[in-house]
Amino acid sequence: MPSPPRLRSRRPSRSITSKLGSDLYRSVAFVLAALDTAARPGRVGVTREGVLGRSAAAARRLMVVAVLVGIAALVAPATAPASEPPSPRIAHRAGDERDRCGPLIVKPSGRTWECTFVDNFSGTTLDSERWMTQRTTQTGFRTERTCYTDSPDNLALSDGTLVLTARKGRMVNCHFGAALLRTRYTGGMIGVRDRYTQTYGRFEVRGKFPATQDAGVHGGFWMYPRDDTYGRWPSSGEIDVAEWWSSDPTLVIPSLHFDGRDPDVDSGWDCRVEDVSAFHTYTVVWRRKLIEFSIDGVPCFSRSWDPDSPLRQPQPFDHPFRMILNMGVSASTATRHTDFPAPYVVDYVKAWK
């Protein structure tokens, strides 16, 4: 993995109307109200027939208004106030309206996202209707030398959060069929069940990573295809929303994996967080031909991918994916200085379509 650089920011500018112009406009409204209490300020409508039929008093009223409006036009700013640049394409919250995911989130189109999944981990045990636990002894899945278990030491609910913990302990024999992994490292991993998989939408986690800066710990929030529609990894795709290595503790990197991937452009090397041990919100908006990532509502990476032939965009990101959370050990980089236990604490997971 190349070393990560840079961070960019933009600040919009704003112009204001002069105080004198504002005062005159207010005076016009006041005189309109005083001259004709039956009329609503700012909504005077005059037809040709009405003017012809008005009394002299009404005509004088109109002349006074015309004079004031002319004066206001002379002292008003020569140019209209500059408008703010359009805000980034980030969903914004709409009033106090809520659904089971919380306050409604508005798309750039003006429509709201529809909540399809939420877990606030408010119980005492993991919701087995929503989640599957990863156990290396049952599935054979592992990351490097991490044996994933559902032991409370590696996977627990505490104070309204999910806690996935990477640990170093005594040597264990992690069997899967005839395969045997002997390791000191264990971790925790969960993934949503098939009925909660989804194609396209908005997916979000709020969590905090361990407060360690020594190499060896690895985890995050990512999405993996339900089926190998286009072949085995990486042919069918993978979306990393927030992947973290303790060797570079301020980088929480989003990535796309597929046949034809270029690591330099298909990963978000600018997605940095000053303190990963504090809670942050990591979000992906997955569209048919564009995938956008943000941290705490601030965009940090977007990508329109170009897969190898015979696939064509939007392949391979056009079929159902499942959400996954894990915390494990990069055994090849762990040292005697690596801090264990290393907990990944998750406040919630949500999805919308």
* Per-position DSSP letters for 178-224, written without gaps between them: TEEEEEEEEEEEEEE-GGG-BSSEEEEEEEE--S--STTEEEEEEEE
Which one, of 254, 299, 251, 253, lies nearest residue 275 by Cα? 251
Which range among 33-37, 173-177, 246-250 has the greatest average pLDDT? 246-250
77 vs 107: which has the higher pLDDT: 107
* Higher-pLDDT residue of 74, 280: 280
- In this prediction, residue 15 has a pLDDT band, given cuts at 50, 70 and 90, of very low
Q: Is the pLDDT of residue 48 over 80?
A: no
Share of the chain above pLDDT 70, in %: 73
Q: Which two tokens stand for residue 218?
A: 């690895």
% of the chain with per-residue pLDDT over 90: 66
- Across the chain, mean pLDDT equals 80
In this structure, are 57 and 160 located in the same domain? no
Average pLDDT rounded to a whole number, residues 201-211: 98
Cβ-proximal residues to 205 (8 Å cutoff; 6+ apart), any chain? 221, 241, 242, 281, 282, 325, 346, 348, 349, 350
Check whether residue 62 and residue 104 sit in a common domain. no
Q: State the residue range of the domain holding 243.
A: 92-352
Residues 67 and 132 in one domain: no
Beta-bridge partner residues of 112: 106
Domain CATH code at residue 194: 2.60.120.200
* Rounded average pLDDT over 57-67: 42
Domain-embedded: residue 85: no
User: Are both 54 and 162 inside the same structural domain?
Assistant: no
Identify whether 46 is part of a domain.
Answer: yes
- Looking at the fold, whether 116 and 152 belong to one and the same domain comes out as yes
pLDDT of residue 97: 79
Q: Specify whether the backbone of 231 is left (phi greater than 0), alpha (psi in -120 to 50) or beta.
A: left
310 and 198 in a single domain? The answer is yes
Average pLDDT over residues 161-190: 95
- What's the pLDDT tens digit per position in 317-331? 999 999 999 999 987
- How sure is the predictor about 29, in pLDDT bands with cuts at 50, 70 and 90? very low
- State the residue for tokens 């379509």: 353
Cα(31)–Cα(227) distance, integer angstroms = 72
Tens of pLDDT, residue by residue over 91-136, are 444 446 799 999 999 999 999 999 999 999 999 999 999 999 999 9
Look up tokens 């508005």; give the residue: 106
